[in-house]
Amino acid sequence: MSQFKIIAGDKKEYGPVSIEEVGRWIQQGRANGDTRVQAEGESDWVPLREVPVLAVLLGGQTPQPSAGPPVLGSAPLTADQLMAELQGRPHTFSVGECFSRGWRLLMDNFGLLLLTAIGCFFLIVVASFIPFGGLIVAGPLLGGAYYIFLKRLRSEPADFGELFDGFKFSFMPLLLAYVFMILVTIPTIIPMVLALIIGAVGGAIEAETTGGFPFISVILSALGYLISVLLMNTLVTMFGMTVPLVMDRKMETTEAFKATWRVTKHCWGKFMLLSICVFLMNFVGLVALCLGMLVTIPLSMAMGMVAYEKLFGRAAQA
């Protein structure tokens, strides 16, 4: 007879228990469709409603659209289906909450999350020595890293080996998601290019006219550069949600991008603020002899996953 482990409302793990016991817990209000369960012999935790033999025990509770890995032969989750699931949820989040929950997540799992962040970026850097190597591995590695952060955020077991799950389960969608994310940010270089042209031409004219240092041209160039960096970081933070969305919801790349845009466009200001906070944190970490980045980089990833869970998480967020 099938046995299941369950993560209850107190975030503690119970079981294995029988299907009958799960049914009693549902009747007692100790479990519902959003309760995370793990079948005996399996490694993944999924919402109770996604396990057919348990979903029938929900009775009057209305099952939600599937959010986990599709069963064999089923179509991947589409953007329209995801938006239907998210209907009624505010498309926004709190940067302050991202920091507080992200900090708590990091402190509770510092060893694992630091090792995950270091392993992810080290492998990307090493792969970059091979032509297109960094481009090929970045998406799958980030997908695996983000999923480890997500699982710990959801109080689910996770280990460093899951960093490579992106290669096993969603290699091509994650690769394409990363490439598309880069393509989306290319237009943000335009202000930077214009600033350099203005700075070079204007600086020469100003220096010849005044005979002094071209302050105005330098200021305009710096302003154009800052605008480009701000736009680029904001778009990377917004469309960066596509990577964990592909990994977490097993969506195709184009559908994940559609869903990402349809949600994040309502809170682009929050993403801009989040990107500024992340940039400043990592700058401080860099100044602190680079050692501070051992905290700020995994903290940045944790903050991003808190925002993701708020916007796209499987269970309704308060």
Domain ranges in the chain are 3-63, 95-189+219-312
| Cα gap 218→213, rounded to integer Å | 9
pLDDT digits (tens, 9 = 90+) for 200-240: 777 777 677 776 676 777 777 788 788 888 899 999 999 99
pLDDT digits (tens, 9 = 90+) for 168-187: 888 999 999 999 999 998 88
CATH number for the segment(s) 3-63: 3.30.1490.40
261 against 191, higher pLDDT: 261
77-81, 82-86, 202-206: least confident range: 202-206
Which strand ranges, in their side-by-side order, compose the sheet holding 46-47?
A: 13-18, 3-7, 36-39, 46-47
CB-CB contact of 58 with 33 (8 Å): yes
Give the Cα-Cα-Cα angle 73, 79, 82 (nearest 5 degrees): 85
Q: Give residues with Cβ within 8 angstroms of 47, minimum separation 6.
A: 33, 34, 35, 36, 37, 64, 67, 68, 314, 315
* pTM for the model: 0.72
DSSP 81: H
Is residue 59 within a helix (H) or strand (E), and if so which, with residue range?
none
CA-to-CA dists, residue 161 to 72, 90, 148, angstroms: 24, 34, 9
Q: How confident is the model at residue 243 (pLDDT cuts 50, 70, 90)?
A: very high
| Cα torsion angle, 155, 157, 163, 167, sign | negative
Cβ atoms within 10 A of the Cβ of 161, count? Answer: 9
Tell me the mean pLDDT in the region 60-85.
58
Q: How confident is the model at residue 289 (pLDDT cuts 50, 70, 90)?
A: low
Q: How confident is the model at residue 317 (pLDDT cuts 50, 70, 90)?
A: very low
pLDDT digits (tens, 9 = 90+) for 95-142: 999 999 999 999 999 999 999 999 999 999 999 999 999 999 999 999
Tell me the mean pLDDT in the region 241-264.
93
Whether pLDDT at 71 is above 50: no
